[in-house]
Amino acid sequence: MIDALFGSKTRIKLLHLFLNNPGKSFYVREITRLIDEQINSVRRELANMMKVGIIKSDTADNKLYYEVDQRYEHYVPLRAIFSDDKEVSASASQPKQSTLDWQGKLDEVGGIRLAIMAGVFVSGSASKLDLLLVGNPAASKIKSFIKSLEKKEGRELNYSVLSYDEFYYRLSIRDKFITELTSSKHVVLRDSENILDKQK
């Protein structure tokens, strides 16, 4: 049935391979061995998938490597369909975390005075950054916090941690990085000093 839905046995095998190996890249001959399909049909399907945007390519050691684009807009539901990990399938059907959940998580990390989410967390956001944390949180707590978020989201996240002074300076000079984030669709999870309101 899934073959009929997605149109090609090779495409199904490719989606299964890529969506079960996020962050890992493969070259064409390696793919043909792994999924046991003809090289021409693999090349054709890779070209189709590149056009759609679900995979991306990069060259290294004179070889063209392909991997799933974790920022593809339908990545999460597709991963829920094709993943061998039942936890991933179950978490994809869960609703997004509420702002209240986030407050508790930020309190656990500690030392965060400002937190902004965008990118994959905010529908319609064009930001490449998913999460900005400002303050002086412990590096180990940030690492563990991000790891748990990535597991829940089923993809790598782009995040940045800035000291309060650095953020304030960048905001005051209208730094491109900060301006792009705040002018894109975003959600302010925490702003303990109302610094963003003061800059309006």
Q: Among 15, 16, 12, which residue's Cα sits nearest to residue 2?
A: 12
Would you state the pLDDT for residue 100? 54
- Summarised one tens digit per residue, pLDDT across range 31-70 is 999 999 999 999 999 998 999 889 999 998 888 999 998 8
Going along the chain from its start, the domains and CATH numbers come out as 2-92 (1.10.10.10), 99-198 (3.30.460)
CA neighbours closer than 13 Å in the CB half-sphere of residue 126: 5
Would you state the pLDDT for residue 5? 54
- Summarised one tens digit per residue, pLDDT across range 25-39 is 999 999 999 999 999
184 C-beta neighbours (distance < 10 Å), count: 16
Would you state the pLDDT for residue 1? 44
Give the sheet arrangement for strand 187-191, strand by strand.
159-162, 131-135, 112-117, 187-191
State how beta strands 131-135 and 159-162 pair. Answer: parallel
Global pTM reads: 0.60
Contact residues for 69 (Cβ-Cβ < 8 A; gap 6+): 53, 54, 55, 56, 75
Would you state the pLDDT for residue 159? 92
User: Tokens at residue 161, please?
Assistant: 């941690």
Residue 86 · residue 77 · CB < 8 Å: no
Would you state the pLDDT for residue 85? 66
Q: Among 26, 102, 34, 95, which residue's Cα sits nearest to residue 66?
A: 26
CA pair distance 163, 79, nearest whole angstrom: 35
Would you state the pLDDT for residue 82? 80
Low-confidence ranges of the chain (pLDDT < 50): 1, 87-96
Q: Roughly how many angstroms between the first and final C-alpha of the chain, as a whole number?
A: 54
Would you state the pLDDT for residue 155? 80
